[in-house]
């Protein structure tokens, strides 16, 4: 069991804490608003009413042993900056901080945040991708050049083996996993003789421009 803390229980923080707890982790949920703390209590290991801008309070909560801490304190920029600074000073190794914009994110990085979260931006990108790439079931940006997507197979893939398709040579794209829907099954690193069905879901890894070539194939 891993241990996490979520500081700030607005919409994003509440759902982040609840999701971590649902995955079987120990979660300490922290907010200065008693009503928010009471709301998360059933979905956390410990729900605490506390002022996280106070360094001594953070130290007393025993956060130094956490696997990671999410800081999601809303639009008041100074609050998140001060919290990240205190967390960095007490030795937290992984601090994921929600930023309201790029400048806020840069400051949070300067004071100790290891990862910046901008959920509205990421959701906007996901929605835009779903509109322009309707055949793509899910999309994970790995870097500026690489994507990991889940997609249904193009018509020319159906009934052919992975060896026959030879996607690595033809497109420089890798099939790293396949979800079989009939019957339900998940195959990590499928063997070369696996024959693709129209009901399969392919997990493809490659450069964005190469993934795009496969996406444009007829379905």
Cis status, amide bond into 183, omega within 30 of 0 = yes
Q: What is the pLDDT of residues 127-168, one digit of tens each?
A: 666 666 555 555 555 555 777 888 889 999 999 999 999 999
Residue 7, classed as helix, strand or coil, is strand
- Please state the pTM of the whole predicted model: 0.64
* Structural contact between residues 176 and 188, judged by C-beta atoms closer than 8 angstroms: yes
- Fold classification of 3-121 is Rossmann fold (3.40.50)
Q: How confident is residue 34, by pLDDT bands cut at 50, 70 and 90?
A: very high
The full set of domain ranges for the chain reads: 3-121, 130-215
Nearest Cα neighbor of 158 from 198, 193, 212 is 198
Q: Regarding the domain with residue range 130-215, which homologous superfamily does it belong to in the CATH classification?
A: Regulator of K+ conductance, C-terminal domain (3.30.70.1450)
Same fold, 3-121 and 130-215: no
CA atoms within 13 A on the CB side of 181: 9
């Amino acid at each position: 069991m891993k241990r996490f803390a979520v500081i700030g229980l607005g919409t994003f923080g509440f759902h982040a804490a609840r999701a971590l707890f649902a995955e079987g982790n120990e979660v300490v949920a922290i907010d200065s608003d008693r009503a928010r703390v009471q709301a998360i209590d059933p979905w956390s290991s410990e729900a605490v009413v506390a002022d996280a801008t106070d360094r001594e309070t953070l130290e007393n909560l025993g956060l130094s042993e956490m696997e990671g801490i999410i800081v999601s304190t809303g639009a008041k920029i100074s609050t998140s900056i001060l919290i990240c600074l205190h967390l960095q000073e007490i030795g937290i190794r992984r601090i994921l901080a929600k930023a309201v914009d790029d400048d806020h994110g840069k400051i949070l990085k300067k004071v100790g945040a290891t990862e910046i979260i901008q959920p509205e931006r990421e959701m906007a990108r996901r929605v835009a991708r779903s509109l322009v790439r309707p055949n793509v079931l899910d999309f994970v940006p790995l870097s500026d050049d690489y994507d990991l997507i889940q997609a249904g197979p193009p018509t020319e893939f159906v009934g052919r083996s992975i060896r026959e398709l030879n996607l690595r040579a033809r497109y420089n794209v890798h099939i790293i996993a396949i979800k079989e829907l009939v019957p339900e099954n998940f195959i990590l690193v499928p063997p070369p003789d696996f024959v693709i069905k129209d009901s399969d879901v392919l997990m493809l890894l490659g450069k964005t421009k190469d993934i795009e070539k496969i996406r444009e194939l007829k379905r």
